[in-house]
Structure 1
């Protein structure tokens, strides 16, 4: 094999790998909860929340503390629903 052929093949391989990385980064969800925080969190420590992307394997709510810490919790728990309701009502 000639040097030019090797360089050409390496270039094509590099572009193929780069395009797969770019495609994979843009198509998946950014925030998913893989581990759910097991304890109750004080609602006075929470600044905001958001729900995980629908493409995540597990539905979760992400609580954002006043110190910008993100905590994954189960949105079906009563205390989590209470925090989300409190935050929703306080934004009006």
Structure 2
């Protein structure tokens, strides 16, 4: 009787293990699927960071003074200008 309980627990653990492993998969946290369509004034932005390289779209994530995150297209000149402005401001 005791060995059947242990065997049942082992089978149950083997069945539940794949679902636990799949739900804790490590992936990118901040990916952008759409870009913000309008320009943002540079004095409203306090910092920026790049999206994870594993995301489908490369993006710049602008963080506003109120800690709101805005996805922006890194190829746009105004986004590049904000990045340069913040880099120069930090020195």
Question: TM-score normalized by structure 1?
Answer: 0.85
Structure number with bigger Rg = 2
Unaligned 5+ residue runs, structure 1?
none
How far residue 8 of structure 1 moved from its aligned partner, in angstroms, is 4.1
Q: Does 1:74 align with 2:69?
A: no
CA RMSD of aligned residues (A): 1.5
Give the aligned partner of residue 10 of structure 1: 12
SS in 2 for 1:62: strand
How far residue 30 of structure 1 moved from its aligned partner, in angstroms, is 1.4
Question: For residues 69 and 35 of structure 1, what CA distance do their matches in structure 2 show?
Answer: 15
- Write out the 4+ residue segments of structure 1 that deviate beyond 6 Å after TM superposition: none
Q: How does 1:26-41 map to 2 (within 5 A)?
A: 26=26, 28-41=27-40
Question: For residues 16 and 79 of structure 1, what CA distance do their matches in structure 2 show?
Answer: 46
Give the aligned partner of residue 43 of structure 2: 44
How far residue 64 of structure 1 moved from its aligned partner, in angstroms, is 0.1
How far residue 20 of structure 1 moved from its aligned partner, in angstroms, is 2.1
Q: State the aligned residue count.
A: 87
Question: For residues 16 and 77 of structure 1, what CA distance do their matches in structure 2 show?
Answer: 43
Question: TM-score normalized by structure 2?
Answer: 0.85
